[in-house]
Amino acid sequence: MVPQSPNRPNVYSKKVLLIDRNQPTRDVRASVLRSRGIEVHAADSLQAARFLWQPNLYQFILLDVRRHFPGEALEFYEQI
């Protein structure tokens, strides 16, 4: 467990939706977040992320916008 610092926000028991098409990158990012006490739900596409999405479940969404077609990420955010 990482000690809580007064200069760091409390991220324990937070949920993150991580969206990245590249599996090795997704796995590393998820591992780092989990090591900090964050619950990670990972998706390999925006379609999979839409399936996982539930209102008020996630505190953060991490999306590699460079790996998606222009406008696709914005459309996803507008839908959720």
Query: Domain for residue 27, yes or no?
Result: yes
Highest mean pLDDT among 5-14, 29-38, 71-80: 29-38
Q: Band of the pLDDT at 80, cuts 50, 70, 90?
A: confident
Q: Domain residues for 70?
A: 15-79
pLDDT digits (tens, 9 = 90+) for 27-60: 999 999 999 999 999 999 999 999 999 999 999 9
d(CA 62, CA 40) in angstroms, rounded, equals 10
> What is the domain-level CATH number for residue 43?
3.40.50.2300
Query: Domain for residue 30, yes or no?
Result: yes
Q: Are 45 and 21 spatial neighbours (Cβ–Cβ below 8 Å)? A: yes
Query: Domain for residue 6, yes or no?
Result: no
